[in-house]
Chains A and B, each alone.
Chain A
């Protein structure tokens, strides 16, 4: 047990720094701080040990399999980290003249073009810093576009009930009313339900394809046509883009705007919750509205390429004050350069691994099957899935009382991160699994085997899991009731 606020070394200079170059400053008396914050007084060796200890109590992709569906927890190549630690990255200022940022801008320019090409869009801005912010930004662009063409009555956004929670939340932040339409029993888009709600108040429909059930919507073009005929826009949630790169793209499916998750598809590390990056791409008719910065390339008299910043004429303005998460863009650039035109292989292997894992779980040997209390049901009845799939764990719950959450917790004992739990909400007792392309066949076989073993285990053992983790099952209700949101720090 290590506690940051127990470090209470001698008072003094703290972290050693050069002396101030002048004491000629003046802080008005009313604004002079009396008591310093009660931060720890700790030496470097103590802190290195503290944070190293904390790291050992965390599970990353580096620690083990991380099949957290919809989050695309793929391996993060280390060269990307090496690159962003090089001079010219952490030590550059967003407001420096363009002549100071030519290397960064070259990377931005290449990324804009690559992302446009991969998604079949006409313009890309790297400004949004997370997927949810990308959604918000694109919906703002659609909103301004509609206002501009005299269609400001379009105040409703349609989302399927299988959508990520960020979709309705982002549209609502723009001021849109949300219309949720139910999915069909097989998990697919219900075109009848869509037809029933579209109209001249439809601003847009937000869809992820493949859906959160991991299935490709076969009628996506028809859905786009219905929305377009009503005068609405089609928005593509790029959370599941890892499944289709090089195979199809949102432009071909009829989408007008997309966001990309550089932290999913392009391996920006997730960092315990962030940073991410959520650039957006749009078709021509929306391109005047996207936020700066955009990088444009020009040639000077000697034929030298020169990069400059550009703000579209009707830009919605900024959603983050600077140039987005530039560091994430650079990491994603390095990742994409490793694959280049072979990015399609990345998607092929993501899909291969997901289907293989699903097959290994759903088709146990007779001997294994005999020991299992109850097999899960496929979340969506389909022959093949894309990059992820869902399991309905209710048969096990009905047979033994073991819930999807219990199984998730038991997986932690085996050294795995749990799958996404209870999402999408349309699948009962849902576990959502996404292995990504960077897991080996052996790792997938082992996970499937361990997963099936849990289904055969003593229900009491599973219900009380986890047993072998740094702490036992954590009481989330207690936390919410007591709300102890900071260290009390005893005055010594």
Chain B
């Protein structure tokens, strides 16, 4: 096997510019072999056998295999897809990936040197402004990993602020309707601070039980979602801040597209708003990389996690941007940092900023209407089927709604998948085993009337199979 000068993947000269020139560099250093460079690794910890991996491939071969593998995946865009549950099918304008993958953005790292990073810094400052306007809170960071880590770190942030005065020490309250995977992230992030998590129940209409919520007074934080995991808009949340009081943080999780129609939580007293930024900027992407939104009031900025860009000036007094409040962060504060987050999701947040900028306020409203309209049309169509019931007949929904089936949901979903090439939604028993006959149906802007007709037909065919 020749290391270079060979044909095929073994020829790594296209990746390693100094391949074949090792001797020249080694002799300049007074060394004679590449092994000299590793002589500091003690004998007893050295690998004795080469890596047992396949031979190197050329770009062409890798592309061919990647295409073959990715073709095995079934895209949400290739068929009617009513699966949401936290990740949403969307349309990302062509401009977004084309511009975001410019090398200066793509291949930079955290803008530690502001003088040569003004572009990324300004873009992130603009992102902070776009999010701030969207959720009606004054401060946003430049992204968290996802909505769940945003929610989890919002809760620990709130405890650091409020626990001193709290009458319920190290205690937070969360809606009982959080998806279990989100709850699990919250548990992992809060257990270290020995935070007790209490749950607030919802009533039969899926609305937060405000009487029960009053018990959160004196705790550090309450976390709820609007719309909630079952797609319900909850007017009661507008009263929640006055119920729990100033000394308890109100943290609200949002589907950001909904805010083109729905009151932003900053206007009903939220102290921190979090959410999955994904619908702005990138497709569902198998769940990552996406980005978490984190916005808050002034009171939380010195305890918030993540990077923040501030306006400043250079030595000539010209406008300039820089990372700021770094003394909260791990590279300075080490184990006393507000969070361990270092790498975040800047590039995806940048895609989000581009998408939001292109939409503009009117485009946002249109997009929200498309989502709400698709959801309403789907709901009306499905509820007209004999045997299908709404789980929350009195509810107002955005994007998603739950229906009750006469037979197990898993059975319907396989039927739709295998017989009709439709992804029918999310089987709620995957979150809550007792809901085995409930289906969470999501309709985004990507659903059209034909998709709905196909779904209705599919469900009718399935029901007929039982008669």
Contacts and interface: CB of A to CB of B under 8 A. Distances in A.
Q: Do A and B bind each other?
A: yes
B87 A352 contact: no
B260 interface: yes
Interface stretch (B62-70, B217-225, B240-248, B385-393): B62-70
Given A14-B359, A14-B366, A479 B322 contact: yes
A153 interface: no
Contact of A341 (B53, B62, B342, B417): B53
Contact of B301 (A55, A102, A485): A485
Contact of B122 (A57, A220, A336, A344): A57
Interface string B10-22: 1010011111011
A152 interface: no
A73 interface: yes
Given A51-B99, A114-B53, A352-B22, A17 B87 contact: no
B70 A359 contact: no
Contact of B322 (A13, A52, A476): A476
Interface stretch (A126-134, A388-396, A449-457): A126-134
Interface residues of A, number: 203
B201 interface: no
A150 interface: no
A47 B116 contact: no
Given A91-B76, A353-B18, A472-B315, A85 B97 contact: yes
A39 B360 contact: yes
Contact of B367 (A17, A37, A71): A17
Interface in A42-93: 42, 44, 47-48, 50-63, 66, 68, 71, 73, 75-77, 79, 81-83, 85-93
B310 A484 contact: yes
Nearest to B361: A36
B279 interface: no
Contact of B125 (A25, A136, A382, A487): A487
Nearest to B410: A97
A258 interface: no
Interface string B89-108: 10111010101011111111
Given A32-B262, A39-B361, A273-B111, A82 B63 contact: yes
B270 to A, nearest CB: 13
Given A48-B99, A326-B287, A337 B62 contact: yes
Contacts of B226: 31
A365 interface: no
A215 B40 CA distance: 8
A327 B285 contact: yes
B69 A15 contact: no
Contacts of B36: 384
A348 interface: yes
A330 B289 CA distance: 11
B171 interface: no
Interface string A113-155: 0100110000000000111110110001000000000000000
Nearest to B368: A33
B115 A470 contact: yes
Given A60-B103, A471-B118, A36 B365 contact: yes
A384 B37 contact: yes
Contact of B111 (A249, A272, A421): A272
A58 B108 contact: yes
Given A24-B380, A103-B72, A475 B315 contact: yes
Contact of B106 (A81, A97, A170): A81
B313 A21 contact: no
A30 B104 contact: no
Nearest to B147: A321
Contacts of B184: 317-318
Given A14-B359, A326-B288, A474 B39 contact: no
Nearest to B238: A30
Nearest to B331: A165
A378 to B, nearest CB: 14
Contact of B115 (A82, A473, A478): A473
A321 B376 CA distance: 27
B17 A440 contact: yes
A21 B374 contact: yes
B294 interface: no
B140 interface: yes
A275 interface: yes
Interface stretch (A171-179, A295-303, A366-374): A171-179
B7 interface: no
Interface in B131-158: 132-134, 138-140, 142-143, 145-149, 156
B51 A246 contact: yes
A15 B445 CA distance: 14
Contacts of A71: 109
A51 B185 contact: no
A228 interface: no
Contact of A39 (B25, B120, B130): B130
A475 B313 contact: yes
A285 B309 CA distance: 43
Given A36-B260, A37-B133, A272-B109, A218 B37 contact: no
A321 B262 contact: no
Given A59-B117, A132-B340, A466-B115, A94 B87 contact: yes
Contact of A89 (B194, B286, B311, B374): B286
Contacts of B413: 97
A96 B423 contact: yes
A489 B129 contact: yes
Interface string A326-339: 11101000101111
A49 B310 CA distance: 23
Contacts of B370: 17-21
Contact of B347 (A7, A174, A274, A441): A274
A57 B397 CA distance: 43
B466 interface: no
Contacts of A66: 107, 109
Contact of B37 (A173, A271, A351): A351
B312 interface: yes
Q: Which of A44, A92, A472, A484 has the most CB of B within 10 A?
A: A92
A216 B417 CA distance: 54
Interface string A434-448: 000111110000000
Contact of B362 (A13, A24, A215, A326): A13
Contacts of A323: 286-288
B211 interface: no
Contact of B342 (A75, A130, A483): A130
Contact of A412 (B22, B113, B285): B113
Interface in B71-99: 71-78, 81, 83, 85-87, 89, 91-93, 95, 97, 99
B120 A58 contact: yes
A106 interface: yes
9 contacts: A1-B319, A25-B373, A27-B233, A54-B123, A82-B63, A91-B76, A248-B46, A270-B108, A475-B314
Given A4-B126, A485-B311, 5 more contacts: A54-B120, A131-B343, A175-B191, A338-B62, A469-B116
The 9 A-B pairs with the shortest beta carbon distances in the complex, nearest first, are A322-B287, A14-B363, A271-B347, A62-B103, A88-B70, A94-B287, A175-B192, A60-B107, A317-B184
